[in-house]
Amino acid sequence: MALAFLSSAGAQQDSPHPDAASKRLSQAVFAGGCFWCVEADFDKLNGVVDTVSGYTGGHVSNPTYEQVSHKGTGHYEAVRVTYDPDVVSYDTLVSYFFHHVDPTDPNGQFCDKGDSYRTAIFVNTDAERETAEEEIHEIDESGMLKAPVVTKVLKAETFWPAEEYHQDYYKKNPLKYRFYRTTCGRDDTVRDVWAKADSH
């Protein structure tokens, strides 16, 4: 993700999707490198009703993309996923997330390197933590990857939605998005990382 954008948006960790209360929806937050790509991937999963790109895990309030990318705020680029637990389980979300990233890279994801591009799962409950950690244990024990999983499981913190420009980027700028995703090597790398697992 090469460009910096300077507008900002307010925190919404405690402000669920408008339909969350009436439909009993749940939310989960995942960091998997470029949030444009994570958002696009989760939008394809049945049971996901909303995705928001943003920042979490840092020490600056209301951060901008410029700050997160270049000024060491400690934030991760992340996506808040609102989902219907009657359609898709949290376990499925976690497994889906892992199979769309390289969880063995401690330095970032694909062509994007730096702390803000590392992988992490932000959990709200002990049950979510147990699910995420069990998935990591099973992946490592299976030997399906060439290196151990380094994805962190962290307590959920304030989620700051990113600038409006970043929301649904893959829909608003399809040509630029596809060019970025291809040249960054995301899909090719994911296939290579998970090749052994997919062959079974």
Tell me which H or E stretch contains 175. Answer: helix 174-184
Catalytic annotation, pick one of 34, 37, 111, 184: 34
Contact 63/111 with Cβ under 8 angstroms? no
Would residue 34 show up in a list of annotated catalytic residues for this protein?
A: yes
Long-range contacts, stretch 142-149, CB < 8 angstroms, 24+ apart: 142/197, 144/194, 144/196, 144/197, 144/200, 145/103, 145/104, 145/193, 145/194, 145/196, 145/197, 146/104, 146/193, 146/196, 147/104, 148/104, 149/98, 149/103, 149/104
Residues designated catalytic: 34
